[in-house]
Amino acid sequence: MGELLLPGSFDETLAALVRGLSAGRMLRVVNFHATPSYRREEYRKQFAAYAGLFTPITPDNFASAFDGTWSDPRPGLMPVLFEGFRDNVDVMLPVLEEFGFKGWFFVPSAFPAVVPAIQRSYAKAHKLHLPKRDEYPDERVVMTWDEGRSIAARGHGFACHSRSHFELTPETPDHVLWDEIHTAANEMRAGLGQPAEIFCWLHGAEAGVNPRADAMLREAGFRYLFSNFKVQRLA
């Protein structure tokens, strides 16, 4: 894992977290990456338990979960599936729908368009970690945009996880930022046929780590930034 970058000191970050938690401003998020079929029953047991405790966070109620106006008596839960792996669609999506949850798919926008013959090598080169037990005899290991549109039409959420699974630094040059933000936004919108409003960097850099990137995210139409410790409003 890369170095944890914060816009301020660790003490400042911790104090902000404490203030947010004390005010009840929190999103309950459970993260997944690859979701292989040999773990299907584990996932079913996990979400069967969640179904008795939580209400799904959906694209329609996300804003209220974020801004503290959540009115459901049960807290919301946001299952996040990183990278756009095919097994997220084949394995985890049916589990989520069985128990009434909406998945949130955080996809590097270039990944679904990589031709199947090189998807595994692309994944290795971009820190997209496939399961150690490869369950697909054919070459495709990534969701397609056709699948993405179908998933979105069923009420699940999407976020842009940069273009190439990119780790932001304060020194990242503008031409790279443009590709990772503007090109990514255009690819997400073309692939899904809907606006892309949520962004997340590899290793979860916060707003303030690179102010040029923050400005470009706003220009590209992103409204929220997911980081390691918080969700920040961009616009």
- Tens-place pLDDT, residues 53-70: 999 999 999 999 988 889
- Give yes or no for a contact between 107 and 84, defined as CB atoms under 8 angstroms apart: yes
The closest of 74, 198, 235, 96 to 155, measured between CA atoms, is: 96
Does a structural domain hold residue 223?
yes
Q: Is the pLDDT of residue 4 over 70?
A: no
pLDDT digits (tens, 9 = 90+) for 139-179: 999 999 999 999 999 999 999 999 999 999 999 999 999 99
The confidence score (pLDDT) of residue 1 equals 46
Angstrom distance (rounded) from CA 70 to CA 175: 39
The confidence score (pLDDT) of residue 23 equals 57
pTM here is 0.91
User: What single letter denotes the amino acid at residue 93?
Assistant: L
Angstrom distance (rounded) from CA 107 to CA 114: 13
User: What single letter denotes the amino acid at residue 44?
Assistant: R
Structure tokens at 99: 């128990």
Does a structural domain hold residue 10?
no
Phi, psi of 233 (to 5 degrees): -80, 130
Does a structural domain hold residue 149?
yes
Within 10 Å of residue 100's Cβ, how many Cβ atoms? 12
Does a structural domain hold residue 7?
no
User: Any residues with CB less than 8 A from the CB of 22 and at least 6 apart, and which?
Assistant: none
Provide the domain count of the chain.
1
* Residue 165, domain CATH: 3.20.20.370
Does a structural domain hold residue 62?
yes
Which domain does 180 fall in, by range?
Answer: 29-233
The H-assigned helical ranges of the chain are 10-22, 40-51, 62-67, 86-87, 93-98, 119-125, 145-153, 174-178, 184-192, 211-219
User: What single letter denotes the amino acid at residue 29?
Assistant: V
Does a structural domain hold residue 197?
yes
Does a structural domain hold residue 45?
yes
Q: What is the mean pLDDT of the chain?
A: 93
Angstrom distance (rounded) from CA 139 to CA 134: 10
Does a structural domain hold residue 198?
yes
Mean pLDDT in residue range 102-115: 98
